[in-house]
Amino acid sequence: MIHVRILGRGIEKELEWRKGLTVADVLREVGFNTESAIARINGRVVLEDERIEDGTPVEVIPVVSGG
């Protein structure tokens, strides 16, 4: 299982892990794309093509923009 926490929204989800799961896959599964959020694993910002191991906690940080 992958534990996903969406910062600033108070949402936490558990996703079933599968072989080859990437950060981009996790973002899509929780309703974001790589342009609307970034991800952190163990406090480190990760790229969307990074593979995720089973049991990895992922923090999703929605991108805020404005003028």
> Could you state, in order of their start, the residue ranges of all structural domains in the chain?
2-62
pLDDT, residue 67, reads 66
What does each C-alpha distance from 43 to 18, 25, 50 come to in angstroms?
23, 19, 15
pLDDT, residue 4, reads 95
* Domain 2-62, classified CATH 3.40.390.10, yes or no: no
pLDDT, residue 66, reads 73
**12 phi, psi to nearest 5 deg:** -130, 140
Block means of pLDDT (10 residues each) for the chain, length 67 residues?
Answer: 92 94 96 93 95 96 83
Chain-centroid distance of CA 35 in Å reads: 12
pLDDT, residue 8, reads 86
pLDDT, residue 47, reads 95
